[in-house]
Structure 1
C-alpha cells in the first residue's frame, strides 16, 4: 500500500497487487506490443516504399492512426510500469508525459471518423473523390485532429495549475490520473470533451454506414465491402468507449479488486489498439498481399537453409 499526499488537502491511498500478477501482466503487455510493432513495421515498409499508397488518403489516415496508437501504447506502457512498480516522477514531468496519451486517446476516434468519411466519399460521391480526398487534404485533416485533441489537455493542465499550491510542483508522485485530478473543473473538462467527441464520432460513423449500405444495395461488392469497413470503424469506436468504464470501476471497485487498473489497462485501453494492424492489414488487399509475401519469403528462406 502506498500513500500520496498533495498540497491540496487530498491524500491518495493506492494499493498494489502482488509482484507475480504485475510481472504476468507486464509480460503479456510486452508480448502483445512486440507483435504489434512487428506487423506495424511491415505495414510501414509497404507504405513508405510504394508511391501510389503514399498518395492515397485512406492509407495516409490509416498509417497516422497506426503511428498514433504505437506512441500511445509506448507512453502508456511506460506510465503503467511507473505506477505498477511505484516509480515516482516530479509533477511537471508527469503533467507533460500524461498529456500525450490523453490527447492520443481522442485522436483515434477522430481518425476513425475521417476514415469513415473517406469511404463514404468514395462510394457515395465518386466523381468528387479525387478532388476531396487528396494527400494534402489528409495532412490538413491530421493537423486539425491534433489541434482539437490538444485543447482539452491544455485546459486540464491549466485547471490543475490553478488548483494546487505552487509547492506541489516540487513533489514526486506516481504518475496516473488519480494523482493529477485535484479539482472538479478537470473532471468536467474530461467528461464533457469525451462525451462530445465520442457522440459526434458515433453519429458520423452511423450516418456514413447507412449511406454506404444504401448504395451497396444498388451497386457492386465494392460498396458492400466499404460498408463492412465503416462497420468495423464503429466496432473499434465501441471498444474505445469501453474505456469510459475504467474510471467508474476504479473509483468504486478498487477497494475490493486491487488488480482492476491492470486488467483495465490491458483489456480495455490497450488490446483494441493491438488488433488494428492485424484487422486492417489482413483485410486490405495491398497490405494483406505484402504480409503474405513477406511471410512466404521468410518460410522459403528458412527452408532453403535447411
Structure 2
C-alpha cells in the first residue's frame, strides 16, 4: 500500500482513514454485542438448538461473528501498516474465505428449509430433523471450502518457496500471482453466485404459487414465510455482491488509488458489515420465539416471556 504522506494532502487523507477506522470499530462492536446475545439465546433453549432453521441461524451468527473479528483485526493491522509472515496470512485467508462463503450457503439452505416447510409440510419433519440439520451443516462447510481450496491450490502451484518466509501486509490480493488465477477465482465465484441465485428464485416462485392457493391461517403463514424469504434474498444478494467486490476494486486500483480506498471502505461497510446485521433483524426481531427469549436474556432474566408464539 502506498505511503499516505506521498499523496497530495497526505495528512488529510490520514485523518480520514482514522475516522473511518473509528466508524468501523463502532459498527463491529455493536454487531458483535448483538451476535453474542443471539448466540447465548440460541444456546439457552433446547427448542432453538434442536430445530433446523434455528440451528442454521446459529451457524450464520457464529460465522458472521468470526468474520467480523478477524476482518476487523486485519483492518487495524493494515491501517498501521503491520506486516506478517505469508504462511500465517494463509491461515487467516483460509478462515476468512471459508466463512465468507458459509453465510450465503447457509442462507441458501435456510431458504430451502422454508420451501420445504411451506410447499412440502408433510415431509418437513423428515427432511428437516436435527440429524438432517447436522448433515446439512457439514455439507455447508464442505461446499464453502471448495473456493478456498481452488484459489490456494493455484497459489501453492505457482508461488516460490522464498515467498512463504517473507513479511507483507495481509491482503487477499497477494494470493493471486498470475492473471489466469484471477480468472479461475472469478469463474468459481460466478458459479456459486448463479447456483445460489437460481435456488432463491426457484424457492420464491414455488412459495408464491402456494401463497396464491392458500387460505385463512395457511395464507397468513405462507405470507410470513414469503417475507422471510425476501429478507433472506436481500441478505444473500449483499453477500454475493461482496464476492464481486475484489474484482471491481482491482479494476479501480489501476485507475485511481484514492478512489480505490474510498470504494474499498464503501464495499466493506455495505457488502461486508451490513449483511451481518440483517440476521438479527430477520430472526432476532421478526421471530417471536427468538425475540421473547432475546428480550429475557437482554434483561438478565427479569422478563419471563410466554414463548408459545411462533414466527
TM-score normalised by L of structure 1: 0.87
2:277 equivalent in structure 1? 274
| 1:265 has 2:268 as partner | yes
Distance in 2 between residues matched to 1:139 and 1:262, nearest whole Å: 36
Structure with more relative contact order (C-alpha pairs < 8 Å, separation 6 or more): 1
User: Shift of the alpha carbon at 1:278?
Assistant: 2.9
Measured at CA, do residues 166 and 120 of structure 1 come closer, stay the same or move farther in structure 2, by a change above 3 Å?
Answer: same
| 1:2 has 2:2 as partner | yes
Q: Which runs of 5 or more structure 2 residues have no equivalent in the other structure?
A: 4-9, 304-311
1:1-306 mapped onto 2 (5 Å cutoff): 2=2, 18-219=13-214, 220-254=219-253, 255=256, 256-257=258-259, 258-295=261-298
Q: Deviations over 1:161-184 (max 9, x none)?
A: 221221111111111122221023
Distance in 2 between residues matched to 1:296 and 1:163, nearest whole Å: 55
Measured at CA, do residues 49 and 298 of structure 1 come closer, stay the same or move farther in structure 2, by a change above 3 Å?
Answer: closer
Q: Which runs of 5 or more structure 1 residues have no equivalent in the other structure?
A: 4-14, 301-306
Aligned residue for 1:146, secondary structure, equals helix
TM-score normalised by L of structure 2: 0.85
User: Shift of the alpha carbon at 1:60?
Assistant: 0.3
2:6 equivalent in structure 1? none
Structure 1 contact 159–185 (Cα < 8 Å) conserved: no
* Cα RMSD, aligned residues only: 2.3
Measured at CA, do residues 148 and 185 of structure 1 come closer, stay the same or move farther in structure 2, by a change above 3 Å?
Answer: farther
Matched residues, number = 289
Measured at CA, do residues 17 and 108 of structure 1 come closer, stay the same or move farther in structure 2, by a change above 3 Å?
Answer: farther
Structure 2 contact 85–167 (Cα < 8 Å) conserved: yes
Structure 2 contact 147–188 (Cα < 8 Å) conserved: yes
Structure 2 contact 39–58 (Cα < 8 Å) conserved: yes
Distance in 1 between residues matched to 2:22 and 2:172, nearest whole Å: 23
User: Shift of the alpha carbon at 1:251?
Assistant: 2.1
User: Shift of the alpha carbon at 1:244?
Assistant: 4.2
Distance in 1 between residues matched to 2:74 and 2:239, nearest whole Å: 19
